[in-house]
Amino acid sequence: MTENIEFYESLVNILGPNRVRISETEKVLYSHDLAPLPKEVGLAFNTMPDAVCMPKNAEEISGIIKVAIKYDMPVIPRGAATWGYGGAIPSQGGIVVDISGMNRVLRVDQDNLEVEVEAGCVWKKVYDIALKRGLFIVSYPSSMYAATVGGWINTGGIGIGCYKYGSVGQNIRNMEVVLPTGEIIQTGFNGVSDHSAGYSLNDLFVGSEGTLGIITKVTMMAEPAPEVLRPTSYQFKDLMSSFPFMKAISRSKIRPLNISFVDEKHIKFLDMMGKHTPGPGALINIALEGSQGSVQYEESVLDALSQQHDGVKMTDHTAEHEWNERAYEFRPREVGLSAALGEVLVPLNKFQIVIKDTYELIDNMGMEASIIGMMTDRNTVALLPYFIYDDKKLIQGNTSLAFPKKLGDIAFDHGGRPVGLGLLFAGNLPKIRGNAVELMFDIKTVLDPHDIMNPGKSMEGITKQGVPIPKIAMDIGMGAMAAVKMVLPDDKAFKEKAKKFKKENKE
Ligand SMILES: Cc1cc2nc3c(=O)[nH]c(=O)nc-3n(C[C@H](O)[C@H](O)[C@H](O)COP(=O)(O)OP(=O)(O)OC[C@H]3O[C@@H](n4cnc5c(N)ncnc54)[C@H](O)[C@@H]3O)c2cc1C
């Protein structure tokens, strides 16, 4: 008890009483992220924090880490908790460090084409402020309205703009990071590239899921704002038949800003809800950006390729609408159900077989699901099938959560892999990385000698009792959940709710 009081007072000495939270309500709020977690997860993990801290700068975070070392407490960095893989929630209790209050845009530097922000800043804010001053933030997540800069970097983000400019990591100049020892470092350089200066420390922290340190400031590269940003949209009978078009674009010399797609089932879901759609079929939405001349040329190439491959060009109105919808892919949730998604990366030439297998999985598991996604470079496709389910129906809801695992297996079978490890899929790392995983453990030990920084995430699943969860246990558990789902009656919740939603929204 005395130790508890001392622990709390040590944090209050750094942050003051208002920015250290220990009430039960507050702890419950920070014990989950955006995705619903089955209750049974509580048997293996202690997702309830001991304290929640809201720092304002790196020095305060350094102080929190020193307290954590003294009391042997895990430290869990948290942005907006939109990731949904459990990365931002405790696995064994500890101190949640909520950095969403560190949200200032510090510098928009037109001279050096870079923008410096605090890591808790939301992407939409960075994008808007930079654009007002003539700079273009080249890649950002579709969760831009909520997701933080630090959160996306830590998930190794791929998103809008990646096709042309690369993932978030490829656009970082420099970061300020508080290490798990409390030391504060710079990982790169403002104003120039991190080239030939020893190991690339920027890259080390990208995708580290908060296990190597807490990012507090980021300097990212920006482009001059484009003369024209033009969305286009092409319709195909179904997603399968859009493949030759996407392949032809990726083998041409044009480089659109963004190539994303929604399948015919997504359009059908919207139609069932009474939302406006451009008619049945799959849509390939492509945004072009640059000078008037270069955009016109790229659009003429797209038009020709679409004609060659039986696509139909949609009106400007539809294309604008789809671009404006880029941050709202999960509209079908509006009927009042939960949505969860799986995410895999696959080589383009396996696109058709992977979507065929994925549709079969959806059918076998009796799910109401659709496939959306994007091309993240000339050869990599990110498939993001999402499913709509009723999380109040316990067995149906919980067993649905085996879908991402089964989807990951399909990707592995075809030379791809699942994306994101977090709390539940940490056991996948050895399968993804082979013996390189040992090097990763060594790096983690060097940076985090007290093993306090977000334990049980990314590297290996660890229960609240400190026992590592072998991958085989996860495979068996998820396999059993999927098997149960397959024998349950098919999901019908969306159909029923969509009908009601359509009626209510018409009246
Ligand atoms: C509607 C929707 C659309 C999405 N679209 C995309 C998309 O286009 N692309 C994509 O990649 N993802 C997408 N996501 C997933 C998610 O939004 C992103 O991964 C997002 O960037 C996470 O940011 P966050 O601030 O919510 O991070 P959190 O969920 O809070 O944290 C994510 C991980 O990063 C760690 N972390 C957070 N901040 C820091 C920090 N400052 N220092 C160290 N570690 C930290 C956490 O511990 C955790 O492991 C989407 C999610 C939703 C719901």
How is the chain split among helix, strand and coil, in percent rounded to 5?
40, 20, 40
Tokens of residue 215, six digits:
């990012």
Find out whether the beta carbon of 33 lies less than 6 Å from any atom of ligand 1: yes
Is 424's C-beta closer than 6 angstroms to any atom of ligand 1?
A: no
- Tokens 């699943």 sit on residue: 461
Q: Which of 33, 64, 152, 447 to mutate to test the pocket of ligand 1 (most atoms within 8 A of CB)?
A: 152
Domain 105-224 matching CATH 3.40.50.2300: the answer reads: no
Which tokens is 251 given? Answer: 């083998």
Q: How far apart are CA 31 and CA 47, in angstroms?
A: 5
Q: How far is the CA of 154 from the centre of ligand 1 (A)?
A: 7
H or E segment at 163?
helix 162-165
Tell me if 318 CB under 6 Å of ligand 1: no
> Does ligand 1 have an atom closer than 6 angstroms to the CB of 175?
no
Query: C-alpha distances in angstroms, 189 versus 196, 199, 477, 503?
Result: 12, 13, 46, 56
Residue 435 burial (CB count, 10 A): 7
Q: Is 55 in the pocket of ligand 1 (CB under 6 A)?
A: no
416, two tokens: 């791809």
The fold of 228-418 is: Vanillyl-alcohol Oxidase; Chain A, domain 3 (3.40.462)
C-beta 94 within 6 A of ligand 1: no
- The secondary structure of residue 148, as a DSSP letter, is B
Exposed e or buried b per residue across 492-507, where buried means at least 16 C-beta atoms within 10 angstroms of its C-beta:
ebbeebbeebeeeeee
Q: What is the 119 CA–ligand 1 centroid distance (Å)?
A: 12
To test ligand 1's pocket by mutation, which of 83, 162, 208 has the most ligand atoms within 8 angstroms of CB? 83
CA atoms within 13 A on the CB side of 338: 19
Q: Is 119 in the pocket of ligand 1 (CB under 6 A)?
A: yes
What tokens does 141 get?
């997540």
- Check pocket membership of 77 for ligand 1, CB cut-off 6 A: yes
397 CA → ligand 1 middle, Å: 23
**Ligand 1 atom at minimal distance to the Cα of residue 454:** 47
**Which stretches of 348-389 are assigned E, i.e. beta strand?**
368-375, 380-389
Q: Which of 141, 138, 165 is nearest to 152 (CA)?
A: 141
Question: For the purposes of burial, counting CB atoms within 10 Å of the CB of 449, is it exposed (0-12), middle (13-18) or buried (19 or more)?
Answer: exposed
**pLDDT for residue 38:** 67
Residue pLDDT tens, the chain, 507 long: 667 899 999 999 999 999 999 999 999 999 988 876 766 677 778 999 999 999 999 999 999 999 999 999 999 999 999 998 889 999 999 999 999 999 999 999 999 999 999 999 999 999 999 999 999 999 999 999 999 999 999 999 899 999 999 999 999 999 999 999 999 999 999 999 988 889 999 999 999 999 999 999 999 999 999 999 999 999 999 999 999 999 999 999 999 999 999 999 999 999 999 998 999 999 999 999 999 999 999 999 999 999 999 999 999 999 999 999 999 888 999 998 888 888 999 999 999 999 999 999 999 999 999 999 999 999 999 999 999 988 888 787 778 888 988 999 999 999 999 998 888 777 788 888 999 999 999 999 999 999 999 998 877 666 666 667 766 677 777 778 888 888 888 888 899 999 999 988 875
Q: Can you give the pTM of this predicted structure?
A: 0.94
Angle at 330 between CA 284 and CA 117, to 5 degrees: 90
Q: Is 87 in the pocket of ligand 1 (CB under 6 A)?
A: yes
| β-pair partners for 465 | none
What gap in Å lies between CA 416 and CA 400, rounded to an integer? Answer: 22
Burial code (b: 16+ CB inside 10 Å, e: under 16) for 94-118 equals: bbbbbbbebbebeebbeeeebbbbb
Question: For residue 407, with 0-12 CB atoms within 10 Å meaning exposed, 13-18 middle and 19 or more buried, which class applies?
Answer: buried
Q: Do domains 2-98 and 105-224 have the same CATH topology?
A: no
Instruction: Determine if ligand 1 sits within 6 Å of the CB of residue 88.
Output: yes
What fold characterizes domain 2-98? Answer: 3.30.43
Distance of CA 259 from the midpoint of ligand 1 (Å): 21
Residue having the nearest C-alpha atom to atom 31 of ligand 1: 151
CA angle 89–140–418, rounded 5-degree value = 55
Question: 144 alpha carbon to ligand 1 midpoint, in Å?
Answer: 10
Find tokens 């945004």 and name the residue. Answer: 287
Question: Whose CA is closest to 214, among 370, 58, 416, 35?
Answer: 58
Separation of first and last alpha carbons in the chain: 59
What is d(CA 434, CA 13) in angstroms, rounded to the nearest whole number?
45
Does the Cβ of 117 fall within 6 Å of ligand 1?
no
What residue ranges do the domains of the chain occupy? 2-98, 105-224, 228-418, 426-481
- Ligand 1: distance of its center to the CA of 152 in Å? 4
Torsion of CA 179, 184, 187, 192, to 10 degrees: 170
Q: Is there a contact between 133 and 225 (Cβ–Cβ < 8 Å)? A: no
Beta pairing class for 95-98 and 75-78:
parallel
Q: Do 385 and 419 form a contact (C-beta atoms < 8 A)?
A: no
DSSP 269-311: HHHHHT---S-SSEEEEEEEEE-HHHHHHHHHHHHHHHHHTT-
Provide the 10 A C-beta neighbour count for residue 184. Answer: 18
If phi > 0 it is left, if psi is from -120 to 50 it is alpha, else beta; for residue 210 that is: left
d(CA 67, CA 47): 20
